[in-house]
Amino acid sequence: MKLSARPYPPITMMEVGGKPFEPAPDVAAWVEATFLDDASPVANPDHAHLANAHIGFLWTAIENNSKGRRVIGQCETGSPQGAMGKWSRARAVQQIEEWFGSVPDFIITLDAAYCAQCGDAEFMALVEHELYHAAQDVDAFGAPKFSKSTGEPVFVIRGHDVEQFVGVVRRYGADASGVREMVDAANRPPEIARARIEHACGTCQLRVA
């Protein structure tokens, strides 16, 4: 089975007067066929929980930088987040519904300029990296969480922890996840001595608790 041809952002987005955001239903269809369909040669069972999720994809022509690094992808929950007034929230919801027909479980935004020129492997790695952020919540026993009122999965954003990178590193290598230095360090003998310090870290303790 051949892979579906990868989608590209509209050329008009890079032109003067182009729209800063464009919904990308072709990316959603490509993700379904490439990563979620069991018949695909690169299907990833790590994303099985997203089979019934509504994920809205957006191209953006707006350059975004954070802490000195270019942001080329972002995964967020579909509902507007943060402190917003009633009108601001209603306006944001209206825009989202106009883009996607309803408020999706997740919105994944992709840098159009980067995606227009990157290679296929880089594009796949970027999209999968963002998909790894789209998680199903778990209950106190670690079982997948479902809404008591609707029975639908409860979705959350998964943070940038080591577990989140394992799938991307396994499929695309350490450079795809920006953890090359960590992997190289792990492959070298320790400079001082072997030690386990995960429970001395406050962040790790929050995850273990």
pLDDT at 83: 79
Instruction: List pLDDT tens digits, range 121-169.
Output: 888 888 988 898 898 888 888 888 988 888 888 899 887 555 555 667 7
**What whole-number percentage of the chain has pLDDT above 70?**
79
For the cut 90, the answer to whether the pLDDT of residue 54 exceeds it is yes
Is residue 55 a contact partner of residue 25, using CB atoms and an 8 Å limit?
Answer: no
Give the CA distances from residue 21 to residues 2, 15, 46, 93, in Å, rounded to whole numbers and listed in that order. Answer: 30, 13, 29, 15
Instruction: List pLDDT tens digits, range 155-205.
Output: 998 875 555 556 677 777 767 656 666 667 667 776 434 544 333 332 233
pTM: 0.78
